[in-house]
């Protein structure tokens, strides 16, 4: 039998990709319009569009998920990787990639409420910003003149606070600022009350209170706007919200937390009769202290009066002392003048001794004496030398050739070189000779000569 293809059966239809995807998309969206899905978040991201994209997974499978910006504004917490959540969404197939995903309309943490998650996240954020730091806490006034109560005007809390406050300090001025303490808009009314309180700063301290309740009931005090309004307040705030075990964000930001509203009233105002007793005690202490001081001063005064000297006697003693000082001053001055005078006289003598005129006179005498001595010794020396010179001159004259010439002798010299002729052998016959006489000279020619008796040799 021949196998014939039947074109009307689904097995025999040839789909295009788009047509097949459109068919699958229709099946998915028709069969899973809204489903509850639970799983663990991973790959969480927030692009600039503001949509939340993440993967929801369990031990065996995973699926892409998205929360669009319009829906994620209603979430009280911010999803994070590793967080187990349960959400209501619809299945959608993204045709261009052929992938499907869950588009969540609602999401809540699994096992822990979203309000608790939001509480922890806001608490961490404000703590990191320093809103809980002790350095920002304002000190409560010891005795406030006026206190404000921010709470519901119809609850028992306001009556408890007023009752305790008047019991501790009757007639104290109390200002009540009514607000909603839960429900929609409660946080905004609380913020407005805090702003009103600070615009009219005639209050010394404020109590912000409400009774106990669930986390949802206390949610207004866990909002960021209330926390920041408390932080901005210039008036100290006491928080008394919920039971003693309940903690709200407002408790961490407030300047002081009271476990209950009644305890807040006790922290805000002191006990009046105790203050009176304390004032009375202090008054007595001051009076006792004053009397004791007066007694001490009286004793000191008596002791001073005993030691005090008669002013006239004291004046006489001072006069004697002044006279003695004057005499000592005169004596010391006279002695000083004498010493000065002696020293001046000594310096005058020194000046006279070293007077330049006197020195000049002394040096002149010395010069005259030396001059006289020099002249005297020069004359003696001169005379001595003159005598010696005369003797030597006499001897010289006796030995002088002139004297010999005067006695008739002559000196014969050659004409050419004026050599004294001492021997006949040194001249020649016919040689001209210069004969020096006592007065004048002669030039003679040698006609003959003899030596040892021999002639004309």
Q: How far is CA 283 from CA 45, 168, 276, 289, in A?
A: 71, 22, 10, 10
> Which is it for the CA torsion 269, 271, 276, 277, positive or negative?
negative
Regarding beta strands 146-151 and 84-94, do their DSSP bridges make them parallel or antiparallel, or are they unpaired?
A: unpaired
Long-range CB pairs of 135-140, under 8 A, 24+ apart, other chains included: 136/231, 137/255, 137/256, 138/234, 138/235, 138/236, 138/255, 139/236, 139/255, 140/205, 140/236, 140/238, 140/255, 140/256, 140/267, 140/268
Query: Could you give the 3-state DSSP secondary structure of residue 379?
Result: helix
Regarding beta strands 432-436 and 411-414, do their DSSP bridges make them parallel or antiparallel, or are they unpaired?
A: antiparallel
Query: Could you give the 3-state DSSP secondary structure of residue 374?
Result: helix
Q: pTM for the complete prediction?
A: 0.49
Taking a C-beta distance cutoff of 8 angstroms, is the pair 65, 38 a contact? Answer: no
- Could you list the pLDDT tens digit for every one of the 457 residues in the chain? 344 444 455 566 788 888 888 888 888 888 877 888 888 888 899 888 888 999 998 888 889 999 988 888 777 778 888 888 888 888 888 888 888 899 998 888 776 566 777 788 888 899 999 999 999 999 999 999 999 999 998 888 899 999 999 999 998 999 999 999 988 889 999 999 999 999 987 899 999 999 877 777 788 999 999 999 999 999 999 999 877 666 889 999 999 999 888 899 999 999 998 889 999 999 999 999 999 999 999 999 988 888 777 778 888 888 889 999 999 999 999 999 999 999 999 998 888 888 888 889 889 999 999 999 999 999 999 999 999 999 998 888 878 778 888 888 888 999 988 898 998 888 888 999 999 898 899 999 998 888 877 766 5
Tell me which H or E stretch contains 114: helix 114-129
Q: How far is CA 437 from CA 10, 401, 408, in A?
A: 194, 10, 8
48 DSSP assignment: T
What does the pLDDT look like over 238-256, one tens digit per residue?
Answer: 999 877 666 889 999 999 9
């Amino acid at each position: 039998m021949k196998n014939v293809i039947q074109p009307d059966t689904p097995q025999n239809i040839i789909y295009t990709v788009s047509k097949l995807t459109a068919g699958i998309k229709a099946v998915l969206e028709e069969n899973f319009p809204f489903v509850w899905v639970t799983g663990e978040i991973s790959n969480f991201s927030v692009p600039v569009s503001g949509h939340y994209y993440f993967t929801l997974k369990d031990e065996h499978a995973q699926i892409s998920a998205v929360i669009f910006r319009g829906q994620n504004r209603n979430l009280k917490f911010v999803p994070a990787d590793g967080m187990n959540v349960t959400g209501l969404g619809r299945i959608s197939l993204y045709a261009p990639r052929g992938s499907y995903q869950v588009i969540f309309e609602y999401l809540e943490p699994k096992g822990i409420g979203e309000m608790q998650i939001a509480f922890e996240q806001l608490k961490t954020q404000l703590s990191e910003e320093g809103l809980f730091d002790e350095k920002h806490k304002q000190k409560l006034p010891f005795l406030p003149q006026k206190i404000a109560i921010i709470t519901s005007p119809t609850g028992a809390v306001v009556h408890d606070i007023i009752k305790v406050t008047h019991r501790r300090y009757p007639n104290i001025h109390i200002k009540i600022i009514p607000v909603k303490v839960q429900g929609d808009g409660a946080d905004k009314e609380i913020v407005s009350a805090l702003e009103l309180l600070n615009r009219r700063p005639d209050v010394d301290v404020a109590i912000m209170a409400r009774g106990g309740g669930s986390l949802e009931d206390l949610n207004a005090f866990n909002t960021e706007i209330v926390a920041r309004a408390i932080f901005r307040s210039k008036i100290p705030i006491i928080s008394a919200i919920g039971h003693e075990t309940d903690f709200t964000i407002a408790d961490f930001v407030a300047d002081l937390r009271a476990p209950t509203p009644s305890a807040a009233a006790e922290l805000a105002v002191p006990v009046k009769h105790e203050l009176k007793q304390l004032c009375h005690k202090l008054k007595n202490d001051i009076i006792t202290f004053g009397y004791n001081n007066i007694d001490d001063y009286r004793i000191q005064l008596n002791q001073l009066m005993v030691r005090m000297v008669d002013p006239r006697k004291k004046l006489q003693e001072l006069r004697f002392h002044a006279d003695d000082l004057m005499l000592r001053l005169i004596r010391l001055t006279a002695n000083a003048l004498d010493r000065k005078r002696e020293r001046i006289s000594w310096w005058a003598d020194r000046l006279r001794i070293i007077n330049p005129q006197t020195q000049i006179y002394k040096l002149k005498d010395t010069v005259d004496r030396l001059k006289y001595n020099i002249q005297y010794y020069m004359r003696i020396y001169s005379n001595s030398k003159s005598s010696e010179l005369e003797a030597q001159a006499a001897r010289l004259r006796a030995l002088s050739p002139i004297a010999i010439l005067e006695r008739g002798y002559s000196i014969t010299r050659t004409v050419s070189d004026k050599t004294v002729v001492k021997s006949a052998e040194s001249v020649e016959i016919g040689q001209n000779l210069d004969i020096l006489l006592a007065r004048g000279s002669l030039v003679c020619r040698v006609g003959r000569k003899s030596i040892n008796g021999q002639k004309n040799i």
